[in-house]
Structure 1
Amino acid sequence: MDLDELVIDNNYALGGSDDEREREQNALLHQQLERRKRMRSMAVPTDDGKVRERLRAYGEPITLFGEGPGDRRDRLKTVQERYEVMKGRPLALDSDGESSDSDEGEFYTEGSNELLQARRKIARYSLARARKRIARQRVESGVPLSRVINVRKEVFTELQTFQNLGSQFGDDRPLSTIRFSPNSKLILTTSWTGTSKVWDLPNLNQVAVRRGHTEKISGAAWHPDATFGLSESATNFATGGAEGEVKLWSLDAEKPLATLAGHTNRVGRVEFHPSGAYLGSAGFDGTWRLWDVATHQELLVQEGHSKEVMALAFQDDGALVASGGFDSIGRVWDTRTGRTAMVLDGHVKEILSMDFAPNGFQVATGSGDNTVRIWDLRALRTQHAMPAHKSSVSDVRFFRASEENPFTALGAESLEGAENGHVDGDGMDVDRADDSRNEGDEKPKSETPLPRSGLFLVTGGFDGHVRVWSADEWAPVRDLATDAGKVMSADVSRDGRFIASASYSRSFHLFGGDHSM
């Protein structure tokens, strides 16, 4: 029973005057909130064996009919909280006879040498990317506000023209994921039949069909360097199935290149690390895992959630990864050390989707509580909460312009001023990024090209709508109705020409503006 139901029941159950009932209701709600707060901060083991041992020490059944590991851990929290209130201290002991207080806080396990090498590679990769991003942001911070407003207005004016360009029947069962390829020429859909399909744009002709999963597919992602026509040994995309397997696919081979087995339950979202060398997968076994794409080896099994993990997202620099699950909690992890960088505690229902903003310091989370929360990693708090949909928010995706040409998306301005010197994939003059302000050789601020990445956010919801939001005021920009039931997934192409949604009704929709065709 949630708090709203509790208030309604109390209106009928409590006697006395209105003031007395209100005071009693407020006191009861305060007790419930304090109890929830204590339980969230309570340290209990994540290992299911230790959870059973602790329940036995409390004199409770070690398992109940139909109870999973996450439910069992929640029951332990309830039991332990009750004893702490009654006795003033927990009674349970670990298997070695030590007090349960020894389990408080984070704990670490020794990793493999392969994981150590991977962390070092990720550190080198992420530091170089972060250096370029910060240098670019310094230059952009000096651009006149009038130009920023004009660019923003130009992009949002184009988004206002977006409309339904057409729909396509995707499969015999509900579609679960839809993703644009990095070059914005293909679109990938997955379904509950366990089948993945690739379609061309904008005609939506079927290009490839891949069958390999025995259960429904919950997550799919393109490799950052995926292009059509690579050799059969090249990984183009990955999918995760309810049988607990992650499969790597090539567009030139019908059979999977590799099957990554390790999860003991359904696989949720899967995402490639920005470097393309690693793959992350969220699991309903309460863990997320990191895989080596080249060797197909499992590098890391990360615990930290008390229930199923559904959502996963990598920061563009590659330094951080965020996970979210049915425990309503999100966590941001440092991939270079394994430490928790931030706990995203604010949603009242499960987290179904998440994405990092291209600026590197914001995370968006979509939840079953119908809201999208924007988290600021610098302030370690919620920056904004949007009542995004009338039902669960199934997907959140920031717009990312193509790294090959980040300026031309959505009718961007001329590249004048970016032709001299070496410009990297993010549109930053690498040779002069760090010292141009001091040496006076920086190109004029009025000529600095402004990438469109991160200017808006796309969300999909179970209310059948896809919505576009500004990423500065977090205000609605465009509402796109699908008329096809629950939206299971949504995405925006890197050239900014298309938005797509996959529906429970087995079809997917393509939206575009005046410059899409």
Structure 2
Amino acid sequence: MGKGISLENLPVDLQHKGVTQDESTADKLSQLPYERLQAVLDKVPEEDLEVKKLLLLLKKPEVVENEDVQQRRIRLAEVLMTNKTDPAGPESMEDLDTEEDDEEDDDEFYTPATSELIFMRKSLVKYSLDRSQKRLQIEMQKHQNFNARQELLSRRAELKRMSNLELAGSQLISTRPLSAVSLSPDDMTVATGSWAGDIRVLNSQTLQPLAQKLDPHKGKIGAVQWHPESNNQIISCAEDGHIKNFQYSKEEGEIKLLGDLVGHERRVSDVKYHPSGKIIGSASHDMTWRLWDASTYQELLLQEGHTEGVFSLSFQCDGSLVCSGGMDTLSMIWDIRSGNKVMTLTGHSKPVYTVAWSANGYQVATGGGDGLINVWDIRQRDGGQVSQILAHRNIVTQVQFSKGDGGKKLVSSGYDNLINVYSSDTWLKVASLEGHTDKIISLDVSNDSQFLVSGGWDRSIKLWN
């Protein structure tokens, strides 16, 4: 009897083709890795943010140089094939997560507060309670003395006056679009910032230049604002990721740098003083908004929550809440005394570029890339949307409530070259101001609503009264 052939020595014909087959065995075997990759790729999320999260959980680089979104999905699929991990199904996250990951997640969302942050929050409790008590006392007094006929006549007269606003002055002041304008607390001066990175101070009535600083930032300036209790301190933010604090000297006609707030990893698109003037808030494309000590420039809080860049933020008049608007189409309201998110406002189909609180303390307006303005009442916890205004034919770049009358008017600007004025009683448009020859980016209304200033792509600042 002859010897048998061992399994290792068994001949294999890789070039064999069946009677009805066009491909050889070798051809089919070569396709198996591709077919398996395609099967895994079909289960990989299409959202780039989810792909990055999975890569991070697998301890792989989120981004590789010169890699596009589809190449990143393929790289994730190859990693999952190697690790034999199924990206679909309820067990997938359990496959990836470990107790160590859970602990890291807890650390991310429950980072112990610093002593400076605790002190700030304690001081804000007393500050906001005092402010809200005074505001409510004034509202109660108004309610007791309310005269319906007198109030109606007063509002009609004010709205008629606002509808008669006219262009009173224009000044070309930069080589690139004017991206930020801000009136000083006494309304006597206006600070501006542009995409050229320069900051200027002008007389608000004549638009005569008073001071300038040509190179404080690298890249587009996102916002400028005066200190709420000072006519000589200005903060700004820009594309370079920096926030800067300046002192304006009227006598010397100079703008001097006082300090630099560094921490954001990407473009800072908005910066605001807290009503107390002791805290600075900033919004950035690094998907965070932050709080800073206005005197020491120390970072007090880094807050995550948005899934894309944060473009705008606004403090409520009592100082207890802040509203953030994001590129993820969401606006979020946070209690900065506790650090908790108290509401998520959904109503835009495109990024939220501007948010503003009313002086009444309970209404907030949001404007987005969809041309809409949504007005919210935070006293209604089931969503709270009061009205949706079809405001502009393009992006809404800024919304602002009138200041000295409790927010009876809402003013907006947009990429359709218009400034619109709305009544907060009915949210109907009472005026539309035309004068800019290109897109409008920023505006500010005086404390008594007697005039407003605006700036935009035509590189000019305009005065309306």
**Could you state the TM-score of these two structures normalised by the residue count of structure 2?**
0.80
List aligned pairs for 1:13-412, cutoff 5 A. Answer: 52-54=55-57, 56=58, 62-63=62-63, 87-88=89-90, 90-91=92-93, 93=95, 96-97=98-99, 107-142=109-144, 143-211=146-214, 212-228=216-232, 236-252=233-249, 254-380=255-381, 381=383, 382-401=385-404
Query: Are residues 102 and 213 of structure 1, via their aligned partners in 2, closer, same or farther at CA, if it must alter by over 3 Å?
Result: closer
| 1:99 Cα offset (Å) | 8.7
List aligned pairs for 1:472-511, cutoff 5 A. Answer: 472-511=425-464
- Give the letter for the 2:393 counterpart: K
| 1:261 Cα offset (Å) | 0.5
Cα distance in structure 1, aligned partners of 2:456 and 2:374: 23
| 1:87 Cα offset (Å) | 2.6
Query: Are residues 66 and 473 of structure 1, via their aligned partners in 2, closer, same or farther at CA, if it must alter by over 3 Å?
Result: farther
Per-residue deviation, residues 338-364 of structure 1 (Å, max 9, x unmatched): 000111112110000000011111110
| 1:151 Cα offset (Å) | 1.7
Cα distance in structure 1, aligned partners of 2:438 and 2:402: 24
Q: Aligned residue for 1:27? A: none
Query: Are residues 123 and 44 of structure 1, via their aligned partners in 2, closer, same or farther at CA, if it must alter by over 3 Å?
Result: farther
Cα distance in structure 1, aligned partners of 2:209 and 2:286: 34
Query: Are residues 101 and 244 of structure 1, via their aligned partners in 2, closer, same or farther at CA, if it must alter by over 3 Å?
Result: closer
Per-residue deviation, residues 132-163 of structure 1 (Å, max 9, x unmatched): 11122222223122222122112112112111
> Quick check: 2:169–2:206 contact (8 Å CA) kept in 1?
no
Cα distance in structure 1, aligned partners of 2:312 and 2:210: 28
| 1:122 Cα offset (Å) | 1.2
Cα distance in structure 2, aligned partners of 1:180 and 1:97: 53
Cα distance in structure 1, aligned partners of 2:155 and 2:105: 50
> Quick check: 1:90–1:100 contact (8 Å CA) kept in 2?
no
| 1:244 Cα offset (Å) | 0.6
Structure of greater relative contact order (alpha carbons < 8 Å, 6+ residues apart): 1
Q: Secondary structure at the match of 2:276?
A: coil
Per-residue deviation, residues 52-88 of structure 1 (Å, max 9, x unmatched): 333x38xx9843666899xx99x99xxxxxx999635
- Give the letter for the 1:478 counterpart: A
- Give the letter for the 1:257 counterpart: L
> Quick check: 2:365–2:399 contact (8 Å CA) kept in 1?
yes
- Give the letter for the 2:317 counterpart: D
Per-residue deviation, residues 252-275 of structure 1 (Å, max 9, x unmatched): 253310000100111111100000
Per-residue deviation, residues 81-127 of structure 1 (Å, max 9, x unmatched): xx9996355445455357989969x9321111000001111111100
- Give the letter for the 2:176 counterpart: R
The root-mean-square deviation of aligned C-alpha atoms, in Å, is 3.1
Unaligned runs of 5+ in 2: 1-45, 77-84
Cα distance in structure 2, aligned partners of 1:68 and 1:256: 40
Q: Secondary structure at the match of 2:109?
A: coil
Q: Aligned residue for 1:408? A: none
| 1:483 Cα offset (Å) | 3.4
Cα distance in structure 1, aligned partners of 2:324 and 2:86: 30
Query: Are residues 94 and 324 of structure 1, via their aligned partners in 2, closer, same or farther at CA, if it must alter by over 3 Å?
Result: farther
Instruction: Look at both structures and tell me which one has the larger radius of gyration over its CA atoms.
Output: 2
| 1:492 Cα offset (Å) | 0.7
Q: Aligned residue for 2:26? A: none
| 1:304 Cα offset (Å) | 0.7
| 1:51 Cα offset (Å) | 5.3
Q: Secondary structure at the match of 1:115?
A: helix
Cα distance in structure 2, aligned partners of 1:121 and 1:275: 10
- Give the letter for the 2:193 counterpart: T
Per-residue deviation, residues 182-210 of structure 1 (Å, max 9, x unmatched): 11111111001111111102111001112
Q: Secondary structure at the match of 1:194?
A: coil
| 1:490 Cα offset (Å) | 1.3
| 1:294 Cα offset (Å) | 1.0
Cα distance in structure 2, aligned partners of 1:467 and 1:226: 29
Q: Secondary structure at the match of 1:251?
A: strand
| 1:325 Cα offset (Å) | 1.1
Query: Are residues 94 and 222 of structure 1, via their aligned partners in 2, closer, same or farther at CA, if it must alter by over 3 Å?
Result: farther
Cα distance in structure 1, aligned partners of 2:342 and 2:237: 26
**Could you state the TM-score of these two structures normalised by the residue count of structure 1?**
0.72
Cα distance in structure 1, aligned partners of 2:349 and 2:66: 24
Q: Secondary structure at the match of 1:137?
A: helix
Unaligned runs of 5+ in 1: 1-38, 77-82, 229-235, 402-451, 513-517
